[in-house]
């Protein structure tokens, strides 16, 4: 059960003891309706305990994510005032805020959603929302309607349980401060007891595995636990405690909670709008998946853009598979990376099977170029001929977009063995490109035999897909996988500021708030 979150003893955060049961069932209040310019008296019922708990939980998740100050402010008002928890108006305000946000969130463009770039989210109360809310509370299935405000994220309830467990863990004492070090299996090191404590508290090492003769020895049981820990964080599971492993070991549970809360929100979208079959490329995970409805039918490791040439967040569709593509080198790569190599290596063109092309599309001999004049402003295009040597490999998956980004295979498959695979110039390299292409072309006129025949040649061939397949690049750093393990990934493009986001009044309130355990 290493690294897993079980159903038993799950920590459910409730608003202190004020929220319990000593509340009146109805409460009358005045609301100034800006739209009509007069005051009208409303009677709001007090929601059931289950509905209050659900609305509070959803508000807490949004406040942790730090997506908008309206959620943080509402949470802090609720947690700091006993009267707030007893006021039916409080729960309508939470409902109104969540309801308006979901509508707003689903209408955002893909890039803004993944980057948390909100544009003029200005929630307002309205008579219509109040009537809708009261109608829901009167319904025998009221909780089911409230539950529709939950994020449309895969394994959401598992992620919720993990989030609550992390918050509980943050209240159980200071997190060990492990010094800079590097430890190999079998070595003795004074940091080992602190690492053992982290592994036990993270459920990667069982407490009964601590019966060792010398607790400063990095023994076999700890090595096995570290390998589990490394796999859960996308690291090479080599058992060596190095810099990246140390960084994750040092990360306090409240910081992990923020990462997970933001990932829950980033992955919140109506799945039915993505298409019956679609491709998801999770950039921090270096992984691509193909989904058919709710079923994952394909997966492959990928290489994404390096930090200075990031793979963009985009939504597009794969409209064609290109066999034996030529590589038309982008201008930025040509000028910064390849022109200097041309000047230094007289065999550059022969070794890489490159050719120069002028503005008329005609090939130009390298010997005919005045290189001294061309270095600062290279006037030609560079094209790499199709073949196994080609940087794109044998496959290119074309998708229309403004960034000239596409998916492709590669002539350097060894790079997929690296755990940190932010290595490309922006495009996405697919490890299992051959099977991916065959999946996309399944059912078309391009049979396996025809594809194999085309691949034996070096002639470029565009194969249109009759039903283009949507493709989305996403930035999800945390999730609970199918086996119940919490997975976390590095913030390779610095979309988030983990330390800053975990040092907020909301997080402080959650660390000091008493909790109630429910089974």
Q: List the domain range (segments joined by +) for residue 210.
A: 192-251
What band does 208 get if pLDDT is binned at 50, 70 and 90? low
How much is the pLDDT for 20? 34
Kindly state the average pLDDT of the residues 356-375.
82
How much is the pLDDT for 319? 94
Start-to-end Cα distance in the chain: 18
Same domain for 239 and 166: no
How much is the pLDDT for 2? 46
Same domain for 129 and 206: no
Q: Is the pLDDT of residue 10 over 80?
A: no
Instruction: Of 78-82, 152-156, 487-491, give the range with the top mean pLDDT.
Output: 487-491
Burial 324-351 (b: 16+ CB within 10 A, else e): bbbbebbeebbeeebbeebeeeeebbee
- Mark which of 357, 385, 413 sits at the end of a domain: 385
Least confident of 23-32, 113-122, 307-316, 494-503: 23-32
Question: What digits encode the pLDDT tens for the residues 211-224?
Answer: 556 789 999 999 99
How much is the pLDDT for 13? 42
Residue of 344 and 295 predicted with greater confidence: 295
- Alpha carbons 284 and 301: distance in angstroms, whole number: 11
Domains: count for the chain:
3
What band does 513 get if pLDDT is binned at 50, 70 and 90? low
Question: What digits encode the pLDDT tens for the residues 130-147?
Answer: 999 999 999 999 999 999
Asked if residue 290 is part of any domain, the answer here is: no
Name the percent of the chain lying above pLDDT 70: 89
Asked if residue 56 is part of any domain, the answer here is: yes
Same domain for 112 and 226: no
DSSP letter for each residue of 122-133: -----HHHHHHH
> In degrees, to the nearest 5, what angle opens at C-alpha 333 toward C-alphas 327 and 337?
115
Same domain for 241 and 200: yes
- Alpha carbons 452 and 332: distance in angstroms, whole number: 34
Structure tokens at 67: 């997506």
Q: Is the pLDDT of residue 170 over 50?
A: yes
- Alpha carbons 309 and 294: distance in angstroms, whole number: 33
How much is the pLDDT for 8? 36
Reported pTM: 0.88
Q: What are phi and psi of 462, to 5 degrees?
A: -90, 125
- Alpha carbons 170 and 77: distance in angstroms, whole number: 22
Q: Is the pLDDT of residue 21 over 60?
A: no
Classify the phi-psi angles of 116: left when phi > 0, otherwise alpha if psi is within -120 to 50, otherwise beta. left
- Mark which of 385, 411, 430 sits at the end of a domain: 385
Same domain for 94 and 213: no
What band does 3 get if pLDDT is binned at 50, 70 and 90? low
> In degrees, to the nearest 5, what angle opens at C-alpha 309 toward C-alphas 305 and 310?
55
Same domain for 200 and 345: no
CATH classification of the domain holding 217: 1.10.101
Same domain for 165 and 49: yes
Structure tokens at 415: 């790079």
Kindly state the average pLDDT of the residues 423-447.
94
How far is Cα of residue 39 from the mean position of the Cα atoms in its chain?
46
Same domain for 219 and 337: no
Structure tokens at 34: 């800006």
Asked if residue 269 is part of any domain, the answer here is: no
Asked if residue 340 is part of any domain, the answer here is: yes
DSSP single-letter state for residue 482: T
Same domain for 124 and 68: yes
Q: Is the pLDDT of residue 351 over 80?
A: yes
Structure tokens at 439: 């999946």
**8 Å CB contact between 166 and 257:** yes
Same domain for 208 and 120: no
- Mark which of 228, 251, 274 sits at the end of a domain: 251
Q: Is the pLDDT of residue 298 over 70?
A: yes
How much is the pLDDT for 448? 84
Same domain for 126 and 78: yes
How far is Cα of residue 270 from the mean position of the Cα atoms in its chain?
16
How much is the pLDDT for 209? 52
> In degrees, to the nearest 5, what angle opens at C-alpha 457 toward C-alphas 453 and 459?
115
Same domain for 196 and 146: no
Q: What is the mean pLDDT of the chain?
A: 88
Asked if residue 247 is part of any domain, the answer here is: yes
Question: What digits encode the pLDDT tens for the residues 79-98?
Answer: 988 888 999 999 999 999 99
| 469 Cβ contact list (under 8 Å, min separation 6) | 275, 277, 278, 279, 290, 317, 318, 440
Asked if residue 63 is part of any domain, the answer here is: yes
- Alpha carbons 117 and 108: distance in angstroms, whole number: 9
Asked if residue 143 is part of any domain, the answer here is: yes
- Alpha carbons 48 and 142: distance in angstroms, whole number: 9
Asked if residue 153 is part of any domain, the answer here is: yes
How much is the pLDDT for 154? 87
Q: Is the pLDDT of residue 370 over 90?
A: no
What band does 42 get if pLDDT is binned at 50, 70 and 90? low
Question: What digits encode the pLDDT tens for the residues 318-339?
Answer: 999 999 999 998 887 888 888 8
Question: What digits encode the pLDDT tens for the residues 252-295?
Answer: 999 999 999 999 999 998 877 788 899 999 999 999 999 998 89
């Amino acid at each position: 059960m290493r690294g897993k979150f079980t159903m038993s003893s799950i920590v459910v955060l409730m608003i202190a003891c004020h929220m319990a049961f000593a509340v009146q069932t109805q409460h009358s209040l005045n609301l100034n309706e800006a739209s009509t310019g007069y005051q009208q008296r409303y009677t709001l019922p007090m929601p059931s305990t289950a509905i209050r708990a659900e609305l509070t939980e959803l508000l807490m998740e949004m406040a942790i994510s730090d997506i908008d100050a309206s959620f943080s402010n509402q949470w802090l008002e609720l947690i700091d005032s006993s009267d707030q928890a007893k006021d039916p108006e409080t729960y309508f305000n939470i409902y109104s805020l969540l309801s308006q946000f979901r509508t707003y969130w689903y209408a955002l463009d893909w890039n803004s959603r993944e980057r948390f770039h909100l544009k003029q989210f200005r929630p307002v109360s309205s008579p219509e929302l109040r009537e809708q809310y009261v109608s829901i509370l009167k319904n025998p299935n009221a909780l089911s309607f409230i539950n529709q405000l939950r994020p449309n994220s895969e394994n959401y309830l598992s992620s919720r349980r993990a989030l609550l467990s992390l918050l509980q863990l943050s209240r159980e004492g200071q997190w060990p401060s492990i010094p800079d070090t590097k430890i190999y299996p079998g070595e003795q090191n004074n940091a080992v007891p602190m690492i053992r404590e982290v592994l036990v508290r993270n459920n990667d090492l069982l407490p009964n595995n601590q019966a060792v003769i010398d607790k400063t020895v990095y023994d076999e049981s700890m090595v096995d636990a570290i390998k589990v820990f490394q796999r859960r964080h996308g690291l090479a599971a080599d058992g060596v405690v190095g810099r990246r492993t140390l960084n994750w070991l040092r990360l306090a549970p409240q910081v992990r909670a923020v990462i997970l809360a933001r990932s829950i929100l980033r992955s919140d979208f109506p799945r039915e709008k993505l298409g019956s079959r679609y491709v998801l490329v999770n950039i921090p995970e270096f992984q691509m998946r193909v989904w058919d409805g709710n079923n994952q039918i394909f997966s492959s490791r990928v290489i994404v853009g390096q930090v200075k040439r990031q793979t963009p967040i985009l939504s597009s569709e794969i409209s064609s598979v290109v066999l034996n593509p030529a590589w038309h080198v982008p201008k930025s790569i040509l000028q910064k990376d390849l022109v200097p190599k041309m000047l230094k290596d007289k065999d550059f063109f022969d070794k890489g099977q490159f050719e120069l092309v002028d503005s008329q599309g005609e090939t130009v001999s390298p010997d005919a170029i005045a290189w001294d004049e061309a270095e600062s402003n290279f006037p030609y295009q560079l094209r790499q001929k199709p073949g196994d040597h080609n940087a794109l490999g044998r496959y290119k998956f074309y998708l229309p977009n403004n960034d000239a980004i596409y998916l492709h295979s590669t002539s350097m498959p060894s790079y997929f063995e690296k755990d940190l695979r932010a290595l490309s110039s922006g495009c996405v390299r697919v490890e299992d490109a051959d099977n991916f292409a065959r999946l996309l072309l399944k059912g078309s006129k391009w049979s396996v035999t025809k594809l194999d025949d085309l691949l034996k040649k070096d002639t470029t061939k565009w194969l249109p897909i009759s039903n283009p397949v949507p493709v989305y690049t996403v930035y999800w750093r945390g999730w609970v996988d199918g086996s119940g393990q919490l997975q976390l990934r590095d913030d390779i493009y610095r979309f988030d500021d983990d330390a800053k986001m975990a040092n907020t009044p909301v997080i402080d309130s959650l660390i000091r708030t008493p909790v109630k355990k429910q089974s």
